Amino acid sequence: MSDRSQALPTPEGEYFESNRFAGLSVLLGSVALVALAFSVVGAMIDPHQFSFSWLFAFGFFFTLCAGCFFWIIVHYATDADWSVVVRRQLENIACLLAVMAVFFVPVLFLRHHLYDWLNIPPGKEAALDSKRAYLNWNFFVVRAIVFFGLFVLASQLLRRFSVRQDKDGNQQFTIWMRKIAFASLPMFALCLTFGACDWLMSLNYRWFSTMWGVYIFAGAAGSSMSLLVLVITALRSAGYFKNVVTVEHYHIMGKWMFAFCVFWAYIGFSQYMLIWYGNLPEETQYFLVRNTESWWTLSMLLVIGRFFGPFAILLLRSIKKQPHRLCYVAGWIVFMQMLDMYIIVLPALHGTGVHVSIWDFVSLVAIGATLGFVYLQIVAKASLFPMRDPRLIESLKLTN
Amino acid sequence: MAAEYPSAAALYEAAKVVRDAGFKRWDVHSPYPIHGMDEAMGLKKSWLSAVVLAGGISGLLTAATMEFGPSSFLYPLTVHGKPTNFFTVPAFFPIMFELTILFSAFAAFFAMFIMNGLPRLHHPIFNWERFSRATNDAFFLVIEARDPRFTEIEARNLLEKSGGQHITIIHED
């Protein structure tokens, strides 16, 4: 409302004081270095187990970063105004996709441990030979380069334009970013779908699911919104975003968490039910491994913990309007995304039951600490919210 | 008693004044939703969500009863080699999902009907000629005479103080 906007002055930008958090930065940097060194050791002494652990950690963090990229392009494509104040943090996290591209290199080196289809010579297996036009090493590498090239290019451009708009407030940048967003929407859908098929589904080259890309997307979008809640709350508790991010923004973020909690269940169930009902051996093998032995417990935990629990809790409006309570749910959903990725990747190695390895943790810490370290470097480089965005005032006085 | 206001902002401020004066049976009319008006009018959370939740749960239970009752207890029939016990639940989920939504939608629809006092063919406010612009470009605030605090003088003073124009008493017939 016009009269309410007069009460709010156009805020100055807020800057993350990196010297206040130098200790955290050094800590994360050194933890990352140690964990990366251990990862090299792991790749040497136990390459088979390590390659699956690394892919699990890679998949978890990649979906979080790609999900944040998705929220940026949706923000521009729909001309949203509520998300202006939180958009810079989405940009910062999406920029980490460049780091994820580097972390994909070990997967290429460890490919013979991960992907059986690389080890079977042509002519041995008819089921594989009919897929060779797609599943071959050269095409796999080309695709990976294209996927990461597009992701990194688009996320860097979006952040760069957004930061330049902070300086002069030129509205032309908003129009350019909207164009990038429209080009990115189909690009994102195709890259994430085929990336998910390449890197995760082809762990078992006999298995296929047409729901796979959407399933990975649903997990990525919901968990990255939860990650955003955590990041914003962390910054708020450090004293930033006072009078900028309000309960109303939390309410909307909570509603998105809820929506994607339902969407994840919808997609996951659609995939499961068709395979369960059709009962074809080449399709059921994926779920047979994950529904038997000790994997069954984890699968049940995922179904209940990723859908039924958060669904019931997020139905309450009071939870969505209380940042600290919403944070518990958000943290839980991010943890469930990790579990989801664990159930996707690790049964391909340990088909007979859960076998937790030290390398799972080392990979998680290595990638997570590195991303945290790089994030702390990026976040200090620009204002914490886009201070000259033409929609900033509308976002600040959000009510819903 | 009704008054017209020149803008949504003026209506918003007027709503706060009437709210603070302690009136209960009154309403505002504008061509579009005004953000923050609930708070300005002092409205509490509507009980619609509770009705919808009840509708949803009864839909879910109806589906579960109608599916597991016959298929697991009254006349168990093995289809496609699937079990007839609880573990056949994936086949039942779509119906549970649909009935949950259907019953919630019905609950929301009929509860809205009751809350809005529908069906109602006429309202005295339409006797006022200016009011036909409520769906076009005008903003109105109406205090009903059945409000326990209502006195003609007090209501008129309040509406005048809050910047209302064309203050009018609207009669039943």
Cross-strand partners of B2: B142, B168
Q: Rounded distance, CA A187 to CA A69, Å?
A: 12
For residue A284, list chain B residues with Cβ-Cβ distance below 8 A: none
Tens of pLDDT, residue by residue over A230-282, are 999 999 998 888 888 888 899 999 999 999 999 999 999 999 999 998 888 88
From A306's Cα to the closest Cα of chain B, the distance in A is 17
Chain-centre distance for alpha carbon B117:
10
Amino acid at B52: V
In chain A, residues with a C-beta closer than 8 Å to the C-beta of B8 are 1-2
Please answer whether residues A69 and A152 qualify as being in contact, where contact means their C-beta atoms are separated by less than 8 angstroms: no
Whether B76 is covered by a domain: the verdict is yes
- Tokens 């939740």 map to which residue? B53
* Alpha-carbon span A206 to A126, nearest angstrom: 10
Does residue B169 form part of some domain?
no
In terms of Cα–Cα distance, which of B60, B65, B71 is closest to B94? B60
Condensed to tens digits (0 to 9), the pLDDT of residues B26-71 reads 787 888 877 777 777 777 778 888 899 999 999 999 999 998 888 8
Is residue B83 included in any domain, yes or no? yes
| B141 bridge partner residues | B3, B28
Task: Rounding to the nearest 10 degrees, give the CA dihedral for residues A303, A266, A260, B106.
Answer: -110
pLDDT confidence tier of residue A3, bands split at 50, 70 and 90:
very low
DSSP A73-135: HHHHHTT-STTHHHHHHHHHHHHTHHHHHHHHHHHHHTHHHH-GGGTSPTTS-HHHHTTTTTS
CA distance A223 to A257: 8
A296 chain-B contacts, CB cut-off 8 A: none
pLDDT of residue A69: 95
| Overall average pLDDT of the A347-355 stretch | 86
Q: Write the DSSP symbol of residue B87.
A: G
Q: What percent of chain A has pLDDT over 70?
A: 97
Q: How many residues does chain B have?
A: 173
Nearest of A32, A35, A173 to residue A91 by alpha carbon: A173
What are the tens digits of pLDDT across the range A215-232? 999 999 999 999 999 999
Number of domains into which chain B is organized: 1
How many angstroms separate the CA of residue B34 from the nearest CA in chain A? 7
Let me know if residue B74 belongs to a domain. Answer: yes
Which residue in this structure is represented by tokens 């206040």? A20
Confidence band, pLDDT 50/70/90 cuts, at residue A2: very low
Contact call for residues B131 and B140 (beta carbons, < 8 A): yes
- Say if B67 falls within a structural domain: yes
Separation of alpha carbons A345 and A381, rounded Å = 36
**Confidence at A4, pLDDT banded by 50, 70, 90:** very low
Report pTM.
0.86
Contact status of B119 with chain A (Cβ, < 8 Å) = no
Which site among B5, B28, B93 would you substitute to test the A interface, given the most A Cβ atoms closer than 10 Å to its Cβ?
B93
**3-class DSSP state for residue A284?**
helix
Residue B64 belongs to some domain of the structure: yes
Query: Cβ separation of B36 and A1 shorter than 8 Å?
Result: yes
B81 touches chain A (CB under 8 A): yes
How sure is the predictor about A308, in pLDDT bands with cuts at 50, 70 and 90? very high
Is B78 among the domain residues? yes
Domain residue limits at B78: 48-115
